[in-house]
Structure 1
Amino acid sequence: MQRKWAAPLALAAVTGSGLLAAPPAAAAHTPCPRVTVGSGWYGDNQARLQQLIDRYGSCNPYRPGRTKPVAVFDWDNTVVKNDVGDATMFWLLRNGRIRQPAAGDWSTTSRFLTPAATKALADACAGLARPGTPLLTGTPAGAACADEINAVYGTAATRAGAPAFAGWDRRTTEPSYAWLPQLMQGWTAREIRGFAAAARTENLAAPVGSTQRVGSGTATGWVRYYDQQKDLIKGLQKAGFDVWISSASPQPVVEVWAQGAGIAADHVIGIRNTTTYGGKFTPHLQGCGSVRDGADSMITYIDGKRCWINKEIFGVRGAAAERVLPAARRQVFAAGDSDTDISFLRDATALRLVVNRNKNELMCWAYDNTDGRWIVNPMFIEPKKRKTDPYPCATTGYVDHDGTKGPVRRGDGSVVPDQTDSVY
């Protein structure tokens, strides 16, 4: 949708302490309830988030007559603990919902699968089902097939240790993430939402720390919403923010989970399949920016997240969606936990919340914090221990499009020095 902007959203002023400055005095306005941020945050993060709401919320006299300020959250390990894509994959394998590819040719499920992975999958899954029908991966006879699929998905390698993917752009896609929706081929979005709902029920009911059997092995068996993030989302919405989710999990899966945090399906941006006339998923993915549908190379991942946010939230089409928009047409707030979130976090103009999972490039940016708009919070459940070695920002913290590692560089080209982990 095309958003109409009545006037630029001013950047929040930053004080010497890095806190958002108080808004300028304004004429009297109609009173309305003040939205407050709940407790359970690290350090002064609650105060920083409160200042964001006070600065941009609809009760502030700065807001009347202007387009709603946009807030964008990543999903997995940002709003919830653990990964809803993983939870769905494990459910699909346990319940035999992944289909044998046409002619048993696994190369049709991802253009980035290596010949070694294609052969390993074909060997492990041969004879379990006719092409186009579900594989019996939830049975003893299908355990080897489940194990091979799970290895390729979870480790990007075959069980024998051969690389499973090759030839992808490291800044626009992650083939193992993309492979999950590609393996959903032959099902409709409605059917996938049903699978995701069943997995959600199981994972929320399972005790924290529990595992489940997948194939011949075990996998994480639980997911929890972060209460602090649910409260923050609710508060932002109440204060008049336009709140969105951008996730590298499949679109229908995130739609199901996002409802539990008060986010409607039309405010979710996940990995999106192309479909047949009957609405069944194909193994190909929708494109963004200059990438055409079916190219499978621009998912909601690093620069791909920027493209999809610019496309779906701000109505930008074509190659322009891949570029950084003017400040007045960007989200004021963003929250994430991983290197996959770097670009859309950097695009946020007022405040950027990072959940610390010890991810190199992201933590280099968060701790460098040259503009005072980054805040870091430990994971709300089972937080990571302090990283003992500095983040290698000056040497290998950045991963280029071809996978080459190098220094993390600021916008002016200067190198970010190594950073010490201080929020844990």
Structure 2
Amino acid sequence: MQRRTFLNTLVVATAASSLMLDAQSAEAGRAATPDALDPGRWSPLNAARLQVVLDEHGVKSGRYDPERRPYAVFDWDNTCIMNDCEEALLMYQINHMAYKLTPDEFVDVMWTDVPKGTFMKDYTTVDGKPVSMEDLAADVESDYRWLHANYKGLAGDKSLDEIHETDQFKDFRAKLYFMYDAICDTHPLEIGYKWIIYFYRNMTTAELQAMAEASNNHGIGDALRKVRYESPKTLSGKAGVVADTHFHGIRIHEEIRAVMHTLRANGIDVYVSTASLDDVVRVFAGNPNYGYGVPPENVIGMRLEMQDGKYASRYKAGWHFNYGPGKTVGIRGVLESKKGYGPLLVFGDSDGDAWMLRDFKDTAVGVIVNRMKKGEIGADSKLAAGQIGNPNARFLLQGRDEHTGLMIPDEKSIKYGKTERKLLA
């Protein structure tokens, strides 16, 4: 695609024209003010469209009503950041054996709401044999009991480095992560997304958030890389040898962080709606070290029951599943019902966000971080692709490079392991 030039930084073709130079200077001054969008790596058309929304609905607009402050809603994982902080935390918790669970409690959590039986055909052993939850759980249980008895952070005397060298740990990591993906893909996603947070059982909020911050920092400092974890042949157990891949590394999307500040400078409030545990995302969204500045009360996410000040392995009674259509339920219940109107802007990247991107009549623009996916978000992405160049576009596609975690000034994206920019799946 031919590179387009952002409207606010249009370079004059004829330097002799003082009129155009004056216009350029005026635009540069406007771009430098805190209430104007920093074009950064936004697609030029997207930057222009977002600036129009700010001009029409922000504090400088004649229609602005401080009693009806507009608001924007952002998905978190793979929208505000590159990759998924909850899944990164799952791997961090495994690698640091950061559990407060007895072996019996671990087994109880592992089986919470998970059906028995064989996983879908994509989840087989490395030699193609079916894998059942019963066999996989038996192997993971055996590993955890050994690790609990031997790791000094739990009940044993071995250091974490020593534990990492054991086949029991390598088996535990590969099979537990395989289990997570297999549960999510075999059964309704609600089962897997709740299951992952049940392992925080017996932690206080402070303990969990300290672990989440450590995981965030580790992910930001880690390389963006896909690592295949295969269980050792010496511990094939009941399930056999399995393997799964984790995408390591986290990156801050600076354009998203900056636009949040620009929205607030324009009198537009910022909220986050996430399918991760709200207390986990609050660490990333609100900690000043990361720069997003989202207050904890502005994060809507998954929630757990608390028991004696600690998390229980039970989903909060009466609280919706904050994914897909559930995000619309959350926005309507927490925000629209109180404010009387829907979000002005919505940002997302996946099927979990597809409904909230399109469900509210008050939404001027839905911004899709382009991961070239099919499904429900694929339908929204096709609408966005058809509106490229439309000055009143309802949906926007924003490209990024998955090798760097950086947005790119294009509607197209580059998938990890690929070199070509693509628009749609």
Calculate the TM-score normalised by the size of structure 1: 0.69
Tell me how far 1:381 sits from its aligned partner: 4.5
Once residues 334 and 355 of structure 1 are traced to their aligned partners in structure 2, the CA distance between those partners, rounded to angstroms, is 11
Q: Residues of 2 paired with 1:299 and 1:112: CA distance? A: 16
How many angstroms does 1:36 deviate by? 2.8
Aligned to 2:293: 262
Matched, 1:203 2:219: yes
Q: Is the 8 A contact 1:105 1:118 kept in 2?
A: no
**What residue number does 1:68 align with?**
69
1:368 aligns with 2:383: yes
Deviations 1:244-263 (CA, angstroms, capped at 9, x unpaired): 11111122221111122111
Distance in structure 2 (CA, Å) of the matches to 1:423 and 1:107: 39
The answer on whether the counterparts of 1:81 and 1:223 sit within 8 Å (CA) in structure 2 is yes
Distance 2:351 2:82 in 1: 17
Give the number of equivalent residue pairs.
328
Instruction: Please state if 1:357 is matched with 2:371.
Output: yes
Q: Which residue number corresponds to residue 110 of structure 1? A: 112
Shift of 1:142: 2.8
Which of 285, 296, 302 is the aligned partner of 1:271? 302
Q: CA deviation at 1:303?
A: 0.9
Structure 1, unmatched stretches of 5+, are: 1-31, 158-162, 317-324, 389-420
Query: 1:8-407 counterparts in 2 under 5 A?
Result: 34-98=35-99, 99-100=101-102, 102=104, 105-106=107-108, 109-115=111-117, 116-126=132-142, 127-128=145-146, 129=148, 139=164, 140=166, 141-156=168-183, 166=187, 168=188, 173-209=189-225, 219-259=246-286, 260=290, 261-276=292-307, 278-287=308-317, 292=318, 298-315=320-337, 329-348=341-360, 349-360=363-374, 361-368=376-383, 372-379=393-400, 381-382=402-403, 383-384=413-414
Question: What secondary structure does 1:282 align onto?
Answer: strand
For the Cα contact (< 8 Å) 1:142–1:215, is it kept in 2?
no
**d(CA) in 2 for partners of 1:245, 1:374:** 19
Indicate the larger mover: 74-83 or 262-271. Answer: 262-271
**1:226-277 superposed Cα distances (whole Å, 9 cap, x missing partner):** 111111111111111110111111222211111221112111112111111x
Tell me how far apart the structure 2 counterparts of residues 100 and 307 of structure 1 sit (CA, whole Å): 36
Higher helix share: 2
- C-alpha displacement at 1:102, in angstroms? 3.6
Q: Residues 214 and 58 (structure 1 numbering): CA distance in 2 closer, same or farther, change over 3 Å?
A: farther
Paired with 1:232 and 1:257, the residues of 2 have a C-alpha distance of 16
Q: Which region of structure 1 is more displaced relative to structure 2, 112-121 or 182-191?
A: 112-121
Spell out, residue by residue over 1:162-213, the C-alpha distance to the aligned partner (whole angstroms, 9 max, x if none). Answer: x7x54x4xxxx53222221111111122111010111111111223447698
- Cα distance in 2 for partners of 1:273, 1:119 equals 28
Compared CA separation, residues 135 and 372, structure 1 to 2 (3 A): farther
- CA deviation after TM superposition for structure 1 residue 101, in Å: 5.8
1:33 deviates by: 6.9
Q: 1:214 to 1:61 in 2, by over 3 A?
A: farther
Q: Residue 72 of structure 1 contacts residue 246 of structure 1 at CA under 8 Å; is this kept in 2?
A: yes
- Compared CA separation, residues 335 and 135, structure 1 to 2 (3 A): farther
- C-alpha change, 1:329 and 1:177, in structure 2 (3 Å) is same
Spell out, residue by residue over 1:325-357, the C-alpha distance to the aligned partner (whole angstroms, 9 max, x if none). 9xx521111000001101111124211001111
Q: Give the superposition deviation at 1:306.
A: 1.1
The structure that has the greater radius of gyration is 2
2: CA distance between counterparts of 1:219 and 1:33?
Answer: 38
Residue aligned with 2:279, SS = helix
Output the CA distance in 2 between the equivalents of 1:33 and 1:372.
Answer: 25
With over 3 angstroms needed to count, the CA separation of the structure-2 counterparts of 1:191 and 1:70, relative to structure 1, is same
Q: Deviations over 1:4-44 (max 9, x none)?
A: xxxxxxxxxxxxxxxxxxxxxxxxxxxx9743343311240
How far apart are the structure 1 equivalents of 2:349 and 2:70? Answer: 22
Q: Does the 8 Å contact 1:42/1:377 carry over to 2?
A: yes
Aligned equivalents of 1:108 and 1:94: distance in 2?
17
Supply the distance in 2 between the matched residues of 1:214 and 1:187 (Cα, whole angstroms). Answer: 29
Contact 1:270 1:300 in 2 (8 A): yes
SS of residue matched to 1:376 = strand
Q: Which amino acid aligns with 1:366?
A: S
CA RMSD of the aligned region, Å?
3.2
Give 1:385 shift: 5.0
Unpaired segments ≥5 residues, structure 2: 1-32, 118-131, 233-242, 404-412
